[in-house]
Amino acid sequence: MPQKLEKLYEGKAKRVYRTDCPDQYLVEFKDDATAFNGAKKGTIQNKGALNNQISAVFFRLLERRGIPTHFVGLHGDREMLVKSLDIVLVEVVVRNIAAGSLSKRLGLPEGTALSRPVVEYYYKSDELGDPMINEYHIGALNLATPGQMERIKEIALAVNEILLDYLSDKEIDLVDFKLEFGLHGGEIILGDEISPDTCRFWDQKTHERLDKDRFRRDLGNVEGAYEEIFKRLTGKSYS
């Protein structure tokens, strides 16, 4: 197992460390929680460990289905060994059901099923509040080539199909989710995490929110929602 060296970066939800393997990093998942571009802050007990292990379940599933990811393996409860990436500064959001900002922008009631998945792009910039952008902005800012963006969209939609099918068996609706990508050895691969922090998960029958919206909207039982997702994915209670 590679040795953990100095910290390279600390963000709102994770810390990234160099290792003695030049093309691998260690990512530590934090319990810190933020919303509304950092305007709301708090702590969700065990969030880091749960998101780490939930993300590992999804990355392993996607790798088995032919999706290239940065996942190498778990390194304890709250650390993940990943491939080093040159991050593409475009966040990709895939939406299946209207919720959050899409409901406000288009006047759709939350819970409205979309006739087809919607793909949106956002400029990954905390200073600017991650504004929505399109292919013309991406080209003008030289964030990615047209070929890279086509590959990113292809992977994002494939991830959506895989996760919709997988989560349906767990009685979970995949409302929407955010993905991040990077280059490793010149290849576009999936990075970051897939967790209740980056996805909207609703119970299929009750439409109970099982994700970070419980923190954003002060709905209570935030820890319980994360633990419920872990339980449905693994068949085990978190302890």
Mean pLDDT score, 157-180? 98
* pLDDT tens figures, 72-119: 999 999 999 999 999 999 999 999 999 999 999 999 999 999 999 999
Contact 96, 114 (CB under 8 A): yes
Q: How far apart are CA 237 and CA 48, in angstroms?
A: 16
Q: How far apart are CA 54 and CA 57, in angstroms?
A: 5
CATH of domain 4-83: 3.30.200.20
* pLDDT tens figures, 121-164: 999 998 999 999 999 999 999 999 999 999 999 999 999 999 99
Whether 190 shows a pLDDT value over 80: the answer reads: yes
Sorted by where each begins, the domain ranges of the chain are 4-83, 86-221
- Domain topology for 86-221: D-amino Acid Aminotransferase; Chain A, domain 1 (3.30.470)
